[in-house]
């Protein structure tokens, strides 16, 4: 019997191999996903970016709805636009006072922990205001309710804080994200009033407030649920308020003057057009800013703030020149062109706020900028409305936006805050 490990070959017995050696197979490699060429599409390849952006956009849309809804609801119930405006102003003033405080709590304790209860309180306040208006409560009750419920968090600021955290090592992508956020602001404030007016007129006067409250609460809950992209709570520092940061007070003064541009332009345009076409004509300014913001986000870096303000000063003179011709079509085109300076200016200004504010106080710093902007809007609305009423023609009211833009440019150059963002 032959040996089990031997085999016969033509040259004699030889050892038989116990196994056959085979070449190892090369491991399969997965192809890396292609990076989109579009800078905006690249933003949303980041894990969790789509989810928190969707929630924030839903929560941000009601910011353009609450004001119109409140005015329509109270004016219909009390037959007084003066009362409606006073209640809306009370809520705006209270919001300007509480917003920095809410933002400071967000910085210290986290977005989800503070934004959700603050939103719940604000939504409950809106519902109480609705019930008061429906029951024809005294005017003081409306004002007190509007003031006590002004705890809505700065949703746009929280979204920008998330982009700052995710893109801290990529300044070009952060610039694109800031441009996207500004374009989203313009879109929400362009569509929000239209949606609110439609709901209040097509259904019932309280419909706008109800839908806005539901969208606000649902959007904040969705946004806060995305904990993976939430910025970590930074350790407390002894830096105090962001107002103490070098250059911040001067930058806030620039925001204050810039806000006067927007407030005056809105009131003066409504007074000049004076009809149902006023809303669509005014929306062209937001449309121009929305388009310019998307284009501006595609460039690699932002321009200097002084350059943006200089462009705004020039473009804000176009509505004045168009109004002097008496052509509504010319005014519409001028507003579209003037709006194109808004987004680049705001993106560059907010980028400076992000640079000047300590990371542990980022939400508070951006909220202070928004508060200064709202203060300027209120001042511009008052001065533009007064001039439109008392001047020989509402056309003279267009002097306020141009003057305010020139003032913002002067403050920027004098205080040397126009550094590259």
Domains with residue ranges and CATH for the chain? 49-230 (1.20.1250.20), 241-421 (1.20.1250.20)
Is the model's pLDDT at 236 over the cut of 70?
no
Residue 330 CB-density burial (10 A; 0-12 exposed, 13-18 middle, 19+ buried): middle
Bridge partners of 12, per DSSP, are: 9
The answer to whether the beta carbons of residues 239 and 372 sit under 8 Å apart is no
β partners of residue 304: 420
CB distance 160 to 106 below 8 Å: no
- Dihedral pair phi/psi, residue 7, rounded to 5°: -140, 150
Between 238 and 65, residue with greater pLDDT: 65
Measured at the CA of 380, the angle between CA 215 and CA 410, to 5 degrees, comes to 115
Q: What percent of the chain has pLDDT over 70?
A: 85
Q: pLDDT band at residue 339, thresholds of 50, 70 and 90?
A: confident
Q: What is the pLDDT of residue 112?
A: 85
Tokens (6 digits) for 114: 């503070």
Tokens of 406: 């020139």
Residue 420 pLDDT level (bands cut at 50, 70, 90): very low
Question: Which residues, other chains included, contact 300 with Cβ-Cβ below 8 Å and sequence gap of 6+?
Answer: 172, 175
Q: HSE-up of 143 (CA within 13 Å, CB side)?
A: 11
pLDDT of res. 421: 41
- Greater pLDDT, 23 or 283: 283
Cα(276)–Cα(273) distance, rounded to whole angstroms?
8
The single residue listed with the structure tokens 């191999």 is: 17
- Nearest one of 128, 158, 137 to 63, comparing CA atoms: 158
pTM: 0.72
Give me the pLDDT at residue 123, please: 92
Q: What is the pLDDT of residue 217?
A: 93
Task: State both tokens at 25.
Answer: 């197979």
Contact (CB, 8 A) for 367 and 223 = no
Give dist(CA 344, CA 127) in Å, integer. 37
Interval 371-385: pLDDT, tens? 888 788 877 877 777
CB neighbour list of residue 160: distance below 8 Å, 6 or more residues apart: 177, 178, 181, 350, 354, 366
Q: Are strands 12-15 and 6-9 parallel, antiparallel or unpaired?
A: antiparallel
Q: Does residue 29 register a pLDDT over 80?
A: no
CA distance 308 to 347: 10
Eight-state DSSP code of residue 392? S
Whole-number average pLDDT of the chain: 80
> What would the two tokens of residue 402 be?
């141009």
Most confident of 27-36, 184-193, 252-261: 252-261
């Amino acid at each position: 019997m032959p040996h089990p490990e031997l085999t016969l070959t033509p040259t004699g017995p030889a050892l038989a191999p116990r196994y056959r050696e085979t070449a190892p197979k090369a491991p399969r490699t997965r192809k890396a996903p292609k990076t989109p060429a579009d800078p905006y599409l690249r933003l949303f390849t980041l894990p969790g970016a789509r989810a928190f952006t969707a929630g924030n956009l839903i929560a941000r849309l009601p910011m353009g709805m609450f004001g119109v809804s409140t005015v329509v609801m109270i004016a219909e119930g009390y037959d007084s636009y003066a009362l409606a405006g006073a209640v809306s102003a009370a809520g705006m003033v209270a919001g300007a006072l509480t917003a920095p405080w809410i933002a400071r709590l967000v910085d210290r304790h986290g977005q989800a922990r503070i934004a959700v209860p603050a939103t719940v309180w604000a939504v409950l306040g809106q519902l109480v205001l609705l019930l008061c208006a429906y029951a024809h409560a005294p005017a003081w009750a409306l004002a007190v309710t509007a003031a006590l419920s002004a705890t809505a968090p700065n949703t746009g600021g929280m979204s920008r804080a998330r982009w700052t955290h995710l893109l801290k090592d990529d300044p070009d992508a952060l610039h694109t994200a800031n441009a996207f956020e500004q374009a989203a602001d313009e879109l929400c404030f362009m569509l929000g009033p239209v949606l609110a007016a439609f709901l209040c007129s097509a259904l019932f006067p309280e419909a706008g407030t109800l839908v806005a409250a539901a969208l606000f609460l649902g959007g904040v809950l969705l946004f806060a649920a995305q904990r993976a992209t939430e910025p970590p709570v930074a350790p407390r520092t002894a830096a105090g308020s962001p107002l103490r940061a070098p250059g911040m007070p001067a930058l806030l003064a620039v925001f204050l003057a810039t806000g006067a541009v927007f407030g005056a332009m809105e009131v003066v345009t409504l007074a000049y057009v004076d009809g149902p076409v006023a809303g669509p004509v005014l929306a062209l300014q937001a449309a121009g800013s929305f388009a310019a913001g998307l284009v501006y986000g595609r460039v690699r870096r932002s321009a200097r703030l002084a350059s943006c303000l200089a462009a705004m000063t020039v473009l804000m003179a176009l509505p004045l020149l168009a109004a002097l011709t008496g052509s509504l079509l010319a005014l519409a085109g001028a507003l579209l062109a003037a709006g194109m300076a808004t987004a680049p200016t705001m993106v560059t200004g907010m980028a400076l706020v992000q640079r000047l504010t300590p990371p542990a106080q980022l939400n508070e710093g951006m909220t202070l900028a928004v508060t200064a902007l709202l203060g300027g809007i209120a001042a511009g609305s008052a001065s533009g409305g007064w001039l439109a009423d008392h001047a020989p023609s509402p056309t003279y009211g267009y002097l306020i936006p141009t003057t305010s833009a020139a003032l913002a440019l002067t403050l920027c150059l004098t205080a040397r805050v126009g550094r590259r963002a």
